[in-house]
Amino acid sequence: MGRTLAQKILKEHMIEGVESPGTEIAIRMDHTLTQDATGTMAYLQFEAMGLDRVKAERSVSFIDHNMLQSDFKNADDHRYLQSIAKRYGIILSKAGNGICHQVFLERFSTPGKTLIGSDSHTPTAGGIGQIAIGAGGLDVAVAMAGGAFKLKYPKIMGIKLTGALPDWVSGKDIILEILRRIDVKGGRGYILEYFGPALATLSVPDRATVTNMGTETGCTTSIFPSDENTKRFMEAMGRGEQWVEMKADDDAQYDEMMEIDLSALVPLASKPHSPGTVVPISELQGMKVDQVCIGSCTNSSFRDLMIVAQTVKGKRLHEDISATISPGSRTIIREMVRTGAYADLVEAGFRMLESGCGPCIGMGLAPRSGAVSVRTFNRNFKGRSGTKDADAYLVSPEVAAATALKGVMADPRELGEYRKIEEPTSYLVDNNLFIYPLPEEEALKVEIVRGPNIKPLPDFPKLPASQEGEVLIKVGDNITTDHIMPAGAKILPLRSNIPAISEYVFSQVDEDFPGRAKEKGGGFIIGGDNYGQGSSREHAALAPKFLGVKSVVVKSFARIHRANLINFGIMPLTFKDLADFDRLDQGDDLLLDLSDLSGEMTLEVRNKGISIPLVHDLSPREIDVIREGGTLNYTRKSIS
């Protein structure tokens, strides 16, 4: 029996384990990626390992999230990241160079290689045929140190694409259609692998949009084959010599199949407040809109911005609309300037932002109170825009452009003639804001520069024989890491200061949580299904741990957050009987025996006189990590 593309790459990189879905494997990571919102903590953790240089084949540090410099914190952290890069042999992409996933796709992604990134949308590189996985910063630090990445061997969901996209329908609508079918947890435990005759019609930017937002299904990663379209893109970026054909065997078998006829797709939108709440744009047509934001790592490519520029050329945006453009990279800006498209966007009335994440991560451009914001982004969680009562809709660049012109949610198919965008045969590549590694002998002399906001890593003890305490909070299904540890212009600058950032844990849900956790001496979190979906930010585990959270008991976990809990020594437990979720309340007094982690465990609810059976799916290695108090302690012990 033949192999899928994902299986081929995993087999080539597998260090430990067997190819059996659900069992733990260890794979070698060729490349690592960090961004500044998660990278500062990752590099603090890497420093703690005591090595002189990164051991990965290529490590790239991007500054793209926290570029709003309202005080010293972000600027100081950027200086720290630059000194770290020089000291340890890391490529640095400076602020303004572009969004990490778009820039990595353009300059570094390689078919057949593996990539681990401290950002959940790292699978963007799957659009070029690379196994690219988002993870917590500590997992990335371990990979930079030459350690393997541990994960459960995934199932493979084959997605066969047939037909061809109609006019005014694009890659964003493909992934929105997949989310419409399987929602935000239907991809858990899977790699989404694309194949079929329609691939010949899809450019790498369209493919990257699909793999980027595939993260919202909960999947491990997504991947397209590397074919002639891939070759053309890499040649246009001046990297044709790095291209290699990568595809599944003709007789490959998939664990599950989905088929999408692209010719049947229509413009779609995700309604608030979940990427999985997808409807045809026709159901929203005519709805008054206040803001349109175009860009993000999902839709900031040359193709995406050109279709917008082409749509609005010679026209004026609706007077009631505030509209922004966030280009994906300086290379894209240069191409937009060369073609005249940049001027077309400016003349139409768009506010041109620098190349960075910006409004997608809540770093500026928050909409007015009660606003409707239409965005080409990948997430629309409540409050993520920076305005708690705003509604965010996720759409394609085509829908966004039509909406910006009309002032209401609009169907771009009503705009008339559609002109297909042709990718450049040679991009005006801009490498001016990269800083490349020094020779090792020079790097050893570099001094690490730390600002006053960078605090030492907390030191966590080993797992005790038992845990007791109250239920500090009880939450429902699909709780995101934005709920647990919000982002935005106020909180993200504290990412390298755990005591300070911990004051905002669950602030979107219960502002009293930090104070209650400290008053009670820590305790337990109870949650529903798909707990911890969304961003890879490990602060959603690290900050609760700092506040004394001992174990998290839920119906089910999202993959990355489960791994982050283990990394910081927090037990991730699930109900044996899901109905037992209803038997627990905030304030319940709990006792958990941790002397034996080999099987089923019992949670004693002392104030109610009941016992609740719990289970876990921890591997023997993960049990050892938990017992040591987390991955950093475990790694130090292993190295010593």
Residue 576, number of CB atoms within 10 A of its CB: 14
Tokens standing for residue 112? 């057949």
Q: What per-residue confidence (pLDDT) applies to 599?
A: 84
Q: What per-residue confidence (pLDDT) applies to 459?
A: 86
For residue 553, pLDDT over 90 is answered with yes
Share of the chain above pLDDT 90, in %: 95
Q: What per-residue confidence (pLDDT) applies to 1?
A: 81
Residue type, 176: L
Stretch 347-356: mean pLDDT: 97
pLDDT band at 640 (very low <50, low <70, confident <90, very high): low
As a whole number of angstroms, the distance between CA 483 and CA 297 comes to 21
451-481, pLDDT tens digit by residue?
999 998 888 999 999 999 999 999 999 999 9
As a whole number of angstroms, the distance between CA 95 and CA 329 comes to 11
Burial class of residue 627 (count of CB atoms within 10 Å of its CB; 0-12, 13-18, 19+): middle
For residue 632, pLDDT over 80 is answered with yes
Question: Which residues, listed in sequence order, are joined to residue 133 by a DSSP beta bridge?
Answer: 116
The stretches of 481-538 forming alpha helices (DSSP H) are 481-484, 498-501, 513-519
Q: Output DSSP code: residue 538.
A: T
Q: What is the dihedral of CA 42, 48, 51, 57, to 10 degrees?
A: -10
Query: What order do you get walking across the sheet with 14-16 strand by strand?
Result: 14-16, 24-27, 149-152
As a whole number of angstroms, the distance between CA 61 and CA 84 comes to 9
Sorted by where each starts, the structural domains of the chain and their CATH numbers stand as 5-264 (3.30.499.10), 268-415 (3.30.499.10), 466-639 (3.20.19.10)
Share of the chain above pLDDT 70, in %: 100
Based on its alpha-carbon atoms, the radius of gyration of the chain, rounded to whole angstroms, reads: 24
Which range (65-74, 92-101, 165-174, 217-226) has the least confidence?
65-74
Stretch 631-637: mean pLDDT: 84
355-410, pLDDT tens digit by residue?
999 999 999 999 999 999 999 999 999 999 999 999 999 999 999 999 999 999 99
pLDDT band at 638 (very low <50, low <70, confident <90, very high): confident
pLDDT band at 3 (very low <50, low <70, confident <90, very high): very high
Q: What per-residue confidence (pLDDT) applies to 443?
A: 97
Whole-Å CA distances, 101 to 56, 210, 237: 18, 13, 15
Stretch 17-36: mean pLDDT: 97
Whole-Å CA distances, 308 to 168, 209, 401: 11, 16, 5
Tokens standing for residue 598? 């080999």
Stretch 25-34: mean pLDDT: 98
How big is the chain, counted in residues?
A: 640
Q: What per-residue confidence (pLDDT) applies to 211?
A: 98
Residue type, 338: R
Q: What per-residue confidence (pLDDT) applies to 637?
A: 76
Q: Are 335 and 428 spatial neighbours (Cβ–Cβ below 8 Å)?
A: yes
Tokens standing for residue 604? 């004693």
Burial class of residue 287 (count of CB atoms within 10 Å of its CB; 0-12, 13-18, 19+): middle
Q: What per-residue confidence (pLDDT) applies to 19?
A: 96
Q: What per-residue confidence (pLDDT) applies to 269?
A: 98
The stretches of 425-556 forming alpha helices (DSSP H) are 440-443, 481-484, 498-501, 513-519, 539-546
As a whole number of angstroms, the distance between CA 636 and CA 632 comes to 6
Tokens standing for residue 273? 């407040």
557-599, pLDDT tens digit by residue?
999 999 999 999 999 999 999 999 999 999 999 999 999 998 8
As a whole number of angstroms, the distance between CA 431 and CA 243 comes to 20
As a whole number of angstroms, the distance between CA 542 and CA 565 comes to 8
pLDDT band at 639 (very low <50, low <70, confident <90, very high): low
Q: Output DSSP code: residue 492.
A: G
321-342, pLDDT tens digit by residue?
999 999 999 999 999 999 999 9
* Overall pTM surpassing 0.75 (yes/no): yes
Q: Of 585, 575, 570, 534, give the one whose Cα is nearest residue 553.
A: 575
For residue 635, pLDDT over 90 is answered with no
Q: What per-residue confidence (pLDDT) applies to 620?
A: 94
As a whole number of angstroms, the distance between CA 160 and CA 197 comes to 8
Residue type, 546: F
What average pLDDT does the chain have? 96
pLDDT band at 633 (very low <50, low <70, confident <90, very high): confident
